Each structure stands twice: as C-alpha cells, then as structure tokens.
C-alpha cells in the first residue's frame, strides 16, 4: 500500500500489482537507465518511511489503547500521541472506554427521531412469567468497558466484541430468568424496579464470570406490556378496577346524600313533636283558663247559668237539625228510626240530671 | 553481474523463508501446539514470539478465548408431558489444545459434539422436571446440573464448559393461542372480581346507609312520640288541675260543645216529649223534676 503514496499520477488509482508493474516500466522508459537505480531506492525509502509512519496513533481523552508486540500485550497507552513499531511487529487497538454504550433488547431504534422509529423484535421481547403468562418486555442495557484487555482478548464473539452476541445472550438470560420468577401482575405494576435491579445484578454476574470486561451501568425497562392478543383483556381489568372505584364512590355519594337528609328529617320530626307538645300545653292552658273563668261566673248563679247555656246550645243545635219529637203516649209504639244521620243520633240529657252516657267522657264523645 | 544478482535474490528469499519457518507468534487470544511430522512436541500458551524448527515442525493454533456454542431452539418434553421450546447457549474454552487436536481438530466438529452432549443432557434434565419448575424458580439449578454433567463429559475433548444457560423458554407455537385464551380467561376472572367487589362494597355501603337512616328516623320517631307524650301528659295535668275545681260543670260544658259540633246540618234527632226541653210543650207548668 505504501507504494501508492508517493505517486501522483492517475495510474496509481488502479492500485493493483500488474498496474504497478506497468507504472514502474513506464517510469523507467520515461527517465531512462540513468534514473532507474535511483528511482528504485527512492521508492524503497519512501515505502519505508510510509511504513514507519503507520505506527503513529492518537489516543483521545475518552479512549484507551492496548499494544500487542508479536501478539503479546505489552503496554496500554493513556490519552495522547503515541508510537508503536508498525505491523507486523506491533499492533494497537484504540477503544473508547469512557463512552456509555447501550444495547436494545426486544426492539431496535431505526431512527433516533423525534419521533423515534422503532422496530419491534417480538421473539426477543416475548417471555414467560412465573405464573405462566406471556409478557412483552423491552429493555435498554447501558454499559461501558471497565477492563479493556479482557474486553479485547478474553471472549470470542461472532461480532468481534463481547458486546455483540455475548452481552445480548446474557441479557436475555438474565431478563428471562427474572421474569420467570415474578408474576405478570408484579411485572406490569409494582415490580418494574425489581426487574431492572435483578436483571442488572444477574447480568453483571454473567459478564464477570465470562470475563468480558464490561460493566453494566443500568438496565432500563422500556415498554412492559401484555402481548397484543390479550391486551384488551388486560385493559378491561384496568377499567374493571376503575369501575369498582366508581361504584364504591357512587355508593359513598348515596350515603353522603342520604344520611344528612335523614338527620334533617329526624330533626324535623323532633321539632314537630316539640311544637305539638308546646301547642298541647298551651291549648290546655288556654282551655283551662277559659274554664276557670267561666266556672267563676257559674258559681255566682249556678242553676240559671246552667239552664241558659243549655237552652242556647239547644237553640243553636236544633235550628240546623231535623227534629222529631215523640210524645210519651206514643213512645212505646213508635218505630225506632235510629240511626238516621251520618253521625247518628245522640240521646240528649236533661239539663239538671246526669249527662248522657256518652257525655261522661267528653273527649271520647268527640271522636265517635 | 546478472548471476550475482540472481544469487542475492535467492539468498534473500531463502533467509525470509527460514525466518518465516522458524519464528511464529501466538496472539493474546490464541494458544498453539507444535507438531513434528504429525507428532505432538509441545504446547505454546504464552502469547508472543516463539521459535520452532523450520520446515519439519508446524504450529496449529486454537482460540484461547471463551468460546460460544449457540444451539438451535428445540422442543423438549417436560415431566408433566408438556412441550417446551428451549433455546440455550453454552460458553466453553479449549483448555487442553492437545486433546482437542487429537479428538476434534476443529470447532465445527467440537460444536457437533457439544450439541450431542448438551442436548441429551438437557433433554434428560427437562424430562425430570415439571414445566412450571423449568420456567420459574428451578431454572438456575437445572442449568447448573446440565453444565456439571456436560462438563465432565466434555473434558475428554480438552474442552471445559464454563456455563450452559437457557436463553429462552417458549411455549410451542401451536399452543400459543390456548395460552392466550387462558390469559384472557384469567383476566376476565380478575375483571369480574373487581366489579363484584365494587358491587359488594356498594351494597354494603347502601345497606349500612339505609340501616343508619332507618335508625335515625326511628330514633327520631321515638323521641318525638316521647315529646308528644310529655305534651299530652302536661296537657292532662293542666286540664285535671282546672277541672278538679268542678268536674260536673266541665262535663256539662263539654257536652254542650259536643252537641254543637257533633250534630251537623241535616242530622235527624228524635226527642222524647218528656225531655226537659219540651216540658212546656204538652203541659205548660213549672216544676217538672
């Protein structure tokens, strides 16, 4: 390759061996025998310099380098500009060790976005839970290189680095192991942090036991959801839960509505009763006051007053009712016509004598 | 001139060939064995530059790193006769390159052999456990057991199995729908439970509310009757206190009131002519008793 570098002619772009020969021949023809030897040495020296220059390498601040001399690791290089004896004596690997890298499990981001476009990998994300349900879990594993020589030389991986298949295998193993030890309800609700933590611990153990030189900084759950065919059923559980709360709230509002009203009604009843009590007492007081007042006057002239009251009442009563008077001579033969009116007939007492039977209890008489 | 030059070139070529045949490198990731005419001479483990006899000795290198064997997912039958698709991987390394060279030679053959060992061991392990155990808690011990068994069986190839892991366990595709059906049924059950719990709580609250309401009203009724009773008794006491003065006069007055209110318009009253009202009707003289 180094032979290409000094040449500026258009031929060197083709760059393969026969063309190189042509190129040299043409050079020789053009410059003639005198220059031939000189040119060969010049080219050889240029090639040597170019070869030597390939040993320069720069290590950026976030990088670290490992140098192998004849395949054996001889030194690591801190950030800065360095030199190694070029291939095939020494080889250098410069790797970004400070960088936090991430691996997606169960999905791949196609476009960063926003909006991000993501392709799902159901085969990776669908897993069995401890209660033999299926759940979709997508995670992002974040990691960095903690041991560069181990990262480079200890683990074989089809992609070249342990972060290829090795990390993915182990992450799947760890995540599925954790999912298999939990119920689907835990995973979907309160157990997310536990999934993350346990997966991280388990994954780190695997990384250490394989000697990958990787340090897992974080395992982050992305989507955690039931598989598509059963999502409706899971959503229904959520809405059932809400329904439960709603129904209970309705019942509570029924309670809130009813009890104050009942208390109000009770209060109303009590007040009514108190009103009744007061009115009864006052009525009695009024009645008795009236009676006492009348009694006082009555005592002045008992017989006359009594007769007057009786006759006044009779006058009032008899003026509005139909009255049949039966003489003693026909009394025995008359057909009893009772009862005649709605309220019946009442034998009237003689004003001097005992009051009629029904009149003995005044209140009872009123109710008949 | 020309001959000398050809000789020089030949010498250089020879020197390069000699150096190339003598020196060899072992990388950090490699280990090698030196073989002389098919006969093992020594193992080279240390990375770096090494020497051997040119032309008669040759070096075979093997990977020293942790190697990976990824089995294709396969269906196994558990003890409770349920099918389970298990996808595993194993990590191993070549610890004895000589044995490896003698028995297997290359990785392709190694993988074929590992496949046989691991899958038979796994089949046995899966067959002696229930499906739920493999899915859940016992996964780790089962795999540790498989790793232990395959480790002893693979030692004769110069291979040490570090780890055998279940990457995935899946239900066979054919029963996926029945799993989903079961999940749906289970969720349906949970939904019903939530709704019924709601209804239960609702009924409880309503019943409690109704009970409290009834009690409140009944208590109010009781107390109001008491109050009414007190009113009545008070009234009776008041009446009695007044009427005691002249109960006969009260009875007389009340009776008169009664006649006024009880006898309505249109009532028929039959009176005897003997009544004191009519004492003057037939014989108008005073003194009727």
In eight-state DSSP terms, residue A304 is: H
Residue A249: C-alpha distances to residues A18, A113, A182, A254, B199 (Å): 90, 43, 33, 8, 11
CA distance A303 to chain B (A): 11
Both tokens assigned to A103: 């691996």
Q: Which of B65, B206, B276 sits opposite A156 (nearest CB)?
A: B65
By CA distance, what is B218's nearest residue in A? A266
Q: Are strands A322-326 and B268-272 parallel, antiparallel or unpaired?
A: parallel
Q: For the domain made up of A101-226, give the CATH fold.
A: Tetrahydropterin Synthase; Chain A (3.30.479)
Both tokens assigned to A274: 């108190």
By CA distance, what is B255's nearest residue in A? A359
Q: Evaluate the CA torsion angle A5, A9, A10, A16 in order and state its sign.
A: negative
Q: How many interchain CB pairs under 8 A, A with B?
A: 372
In eight-state DSSP terms, residue A360 is: G
By CA distance, what is A181's nearest residue in B? B136
By CA distance, what is B261's nearest residue in A? A366
Q: Inform me whether the pLDDT recorded for A304 exceeds 80.
A: yes
Both tokens assigned to A144: 């960095």
Both tokens assigned to A215: 């340090």
Q: What is the CA radius of gyration of chain A?
A: 58
**Average pLDDT over all residues of chain A:** 81
pTM of the model: 0.69
DSSP conformation letters of A252-265: HHHHHHHHHHHHHH
Q: Which of B165, B236, B282 sits opposite A173 (nearest CB)?
A: B165
Verify whether the Cβ–Cβ distance A270 to B227 is below 8 Å. yes
Q: Inform me whether the pLDDT recorded for A351 exceeds 60.
A: no
Quote the pLDDT of residue A6.
Answer: 42
Verify whether the Cβ–Cβ distance A259 to B29 is below 8 Å. no
Q: Where are the domains of chain A?
A: 2-52, 56-96, 101-226, 233-282
Residues in chain B with CB shorter than 8 Å from the CB of A331 are 272, 274
Quote the pLDDT of residue B285.
Answer: 58
Residue B204: C-alpha distances to residues A248, A320, A334, B196, B212 (Å): 10, 64, 72, 12, 12
Percent of chain A with pLDDT over 90: 44
Quote the pLDDT of residue A7.
Answer: 42
Both tokens assigned to B268: 């028929």
Verify whether the Cβ–Cβ distance B205 to A248 is below 8 Å. yes
Quote the pLDDT of residue A353.
Answer: 44
Q: Which of A130, A299, A355 sits opposite B251 (nearest CB)?
A: A355
Verify whether the Cβ–Cβ distance A340 to B267 is below 8 Å. yes
Q: Tell me if B169 sits within 8 A of B104, measured CB to CB.
A: no
Verify whether the Cβ–Cβ distance A169 to B70 is below 8 Å. yes
Q: Inform me whether the pLDDT recorded for A49 exceeds 90.
A: yes
d(CA A210, CA B89): 13
Residues in chain A with CB shorter than 8 Å from the CB of B212 are 259, 262
Quote the pLDDT of residue A142.
Answer: 95
Verify whether the Cβ–Cβ distance B276 to A352 is below 8 Å. yes
Verify whether the Cβ–Cβ distance B188 to A281 is below 8 Å. no
Q: Which of B26, B139, B250 sits opposite A71 (nearest CB)?
A: B26
Give the count of beta carbons closer than 10 Å to the beta carbon of residue A29. 9
Verify whether the Cβ–Cβ distance B232 to A210 is below 8 Å. no
B13, burial (CB in 10 Å: exposed 0-12, middle 13-18, buried 19+): exposed
Verify whether the Cβ–Cβ distance A320 to B265 is below 8 Å. yes
Verify whether the Cβ–Cβ distance B47 to A68 is below 8 Å. yes
Verify whether the Cβ–Cβ distance B260 to A310 is below 8 Å. no
pLDDT band at A295 (very low <50, low <70, confident <90, very high): confident
Residues in chain A with CB shorter than 8 Å from the CB of B257 are 362
Q: Which of A153, A298, A365 sits opposite B249 (nearest CB)?
A: A298
How large is the average pLDDT for residues A267-284? 92
Task: Report pLDDT digits (tens) over A143-163.
Answer: 999 999 999 999 998 887 888
pLDDT band at A202 (very low <50, low <70, confident <90, very high): very high
pLDDT band at A24 (very low <50, low <70, confident <90, very high): low
Q: What is the CA radius of gyration of chain B?
A: 58
Return phi, psi of residue A361, to 5°: -110, 105
A251-258: which pairs have CB atoms within 8 A and are 24 or more residues apart? A251/B201, A251/B202, A251/B203, A251/B204, A251/B205, A251/B206, A251/B209, A252/B205, A254/B205, A254/B206, A254/B209, A255/B205, A255/B206, A255/B208, A255/B209, A258/B209, A258/B210, A258/B213
Both tokens assigned to A294: 């009348």
Residues in chain B with CB shorter than 8 Å from the CB of A265 are 216-217, 220
Name which of A16-30, A227-241, B96-110 the model is least confident about: A16-30
How large is the average pLDDT for residues A295-312? 86
Task: Report pLDDT digits (tens) over A178-197.
Answer: 998 899 989 998 888 999 99
Quote the distance between the C-alpha of residue B119 and its chain's center.
Answer: 31
By CA distance, what is B29's nearest residue in A? A153
Verify whether the Cβ–Cβ distance B194 to A244 is below 8 Å. yes
pLDDT band at A354 (very low <50, low <70, confident <90, very high): very low
Quote the pLDDT of residue B208.
Answer: 93
**pLDDT tens digits in sequence order for chain B, 289 residues long:** 567 888 889 999 999 888 888 889 899 999 999 999 888 899 998 898 898 888 888 899 999 999 999 988 999 998 988 888 999 999 999 999 999 998 888 888 989 999 999 999 999 988 988 888 888 777 888 888 889 999 998 888 899 999 899 888 888 888 888 889 999 999 999 999 999 999 999 999 999 999 999 999 999 999 999 999 999 999 999 888 888 888 888 888 888 888 888 887 777 777 776 777 777 766 655 554 4
Q: Tell me if A191 sits within 8 A of A182, measured CB to CB.
A: yes
How large is the average pLDDT for residues A122-127? 88
d(CA A154, CA B66): 6
A279 CB contacts (<8 Å, ≥6 apart)?
B231
CA distance A32 to chain B (A): 19
Helix/strand/coil for A222: strand
Both tokens assigned to A301: 């002239």
Q: Tell me if A225 sits within 8 A of A233, measured CB to CB.
A: no
Q: Which of B204, B235, B258 sits opposite A359 (nearest CB)?
A: B258
DSSP conformation letters of A49-79: HHHHHTTEEEE-TTEEEEEEETTEEEEEE-S
Convert B17-30 to b/e letters by CB count within 10 Å (16 or more is b): eeeebeebbbbbbb
Picking from B9, B26, B50, B202 by the largest number of A CB atoms within 10 A of its own CB, the best residue to mutate is B202
d(CA B245, CA A299): 11
ipTM, interface predicted TM-score of the complex: 0.74
Q: Tell me if B135 sits within 8 A of B76, measured CB to CB.
A: no
Residues in chain A with CB shorter than 8 Å from the CB of B166 are 173, 176-177
Quote the pLDDT of residue A307.
Answer: 86
For chain A, the first-to-last Cα distance in angstroms comes to 136
Verify whether the Cβ–Cβ distance B165 to A169 is below 8 Å. yes
Q: Tell me which of A363 and A225 has the higher pLDDT.
A: A225
Verify whether the Cβ–Cβ distance A130 to B135 is below 8 Å. yes
CA distance A177 to chain B (A): 7
């Amino acid at each position: 390759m180094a032979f290409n570098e000094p040449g500026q002619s258009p031929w060197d772009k083709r760059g393969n061996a026969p063309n190189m020969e042509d190129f040299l021949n043409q050079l020789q023809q053009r410059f003639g025998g005198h220059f031939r030897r000189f040119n060969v040495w010049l080219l050889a020296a240029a090639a040597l310099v170019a070869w030597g220059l390939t040993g320069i390498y720069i290590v950026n601040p976030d990088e670290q380098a490992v140098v192998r001399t004849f395949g054996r690791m001889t030194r690591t290089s801190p950030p800065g500009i360095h030199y190694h004896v070029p291939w095939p004596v020494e080889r250098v690997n410069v790797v970004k060790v400070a960088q936090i890298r991430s691996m997606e499990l169960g999905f791949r981001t196609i476009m960063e976005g926003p909006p991000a476009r993501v392709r799902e990998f159901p085969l990776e994300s669908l897993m069995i839970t401890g209660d033999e349900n299926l759940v979709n879990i997508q995670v992002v594993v974040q990691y960095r290189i903690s041991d560069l020589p181990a990262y480079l030389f200890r683990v074989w991986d089809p992609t070249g680095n342990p972060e290829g298949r090795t990390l993915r295998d182990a992450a799947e193993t760890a995540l599925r192991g954790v999912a298999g030890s939990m119920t689907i309800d835990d995973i979907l609700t309160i157990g997310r942090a536990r999934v993350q933590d346990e997966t991280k611990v388990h994954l780190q153990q695997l990384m250490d036991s394989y000697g990958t030189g990787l340090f897992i900084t974080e395992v982050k759950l992305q989507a955690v959801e039931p598989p598509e065919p059963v999502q409706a059923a899971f959503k229904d559980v959520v809405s059932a839960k809400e329904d439960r709360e709603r129904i209970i709230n309705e019942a509570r509002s029924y309670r809130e509505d009813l009890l104050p009203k009942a208390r109000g009604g009770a209060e109303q009843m009590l007040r009514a009763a108190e009103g009744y009590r007061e009115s009864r007492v006052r009525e009695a007081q009024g009645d008795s006051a009236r009676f006492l007042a009348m009694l006082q006057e009555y005592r002045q002239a008992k017989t006359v007053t009594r007769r007057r009251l009786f006759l006044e009442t009779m006058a009032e009563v008899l003026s509005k009712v139909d009255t049949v008077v039966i003489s003693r001579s026909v009394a025995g033969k008359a057909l009893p016509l009772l009862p005649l009116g709605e309220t019946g007939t009442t034998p009237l007492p003689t004003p001097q004598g005992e009051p009629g039977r029904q009149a003995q209890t005044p209140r009872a008489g009123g109710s008949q | 001139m020309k001959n000398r030059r050809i000789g020089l070139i030949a010498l250089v070529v020879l020197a390069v060939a000699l150096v190339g045949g003598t020196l060899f490198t072992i990388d950090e990731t490699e280990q090698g064995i030196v073989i002389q005419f098919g006969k093992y001479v020594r193992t080279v483990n240390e990375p770096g530059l090494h020497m051997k006899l040119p032309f008669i000795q040759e070096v075979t290198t093997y990977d020293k790193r942790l190697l990976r064997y990824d089995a294709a997912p396969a269906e196994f039958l558990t003890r409770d006769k349920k099918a389970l698709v298990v996808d595993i991987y194993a990590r191993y390394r070549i610890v004895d390159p000589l044995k490896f060279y003698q028995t297997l030679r290359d990785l392709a053959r190694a993988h074929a052999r590992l496949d046989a060992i691991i899958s038979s061991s796994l089949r046995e392990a899966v067959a002696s456990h229930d499906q739920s155990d493999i899915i859940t808690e016992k996964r780790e011990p089962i795999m540790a057991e498989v790793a232990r068994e395959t480790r002893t069986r693979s030692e004769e190839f110069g291979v040490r199995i570090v780890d055998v892991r279940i990457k995935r366990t899946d239900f066979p595709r054919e029963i996926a729908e029945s799993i989903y059906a079961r999940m749906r049924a289970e969720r349906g059950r949970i939904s019903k439970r939530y709704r019924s719990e709601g209804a239960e709580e609702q009924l409880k609250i309503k019943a409690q509310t109704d009970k409290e309401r009834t009690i409140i009203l009944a208590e109010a009724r009781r107390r109001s009757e008491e109050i009414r009773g007190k009113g009545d008794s008070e009234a009776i006491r008041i009446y009695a206190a007044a009427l005691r003065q002249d109960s006969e006069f009260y009875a007389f007055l009340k009776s008169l009131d009664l006649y006024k209110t009880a006898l309505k318009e249109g009532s028929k009253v039959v009176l005897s002519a003997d009544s004191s009202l009519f004492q003057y009707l037939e014989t108008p003289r005073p003194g009727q008793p």
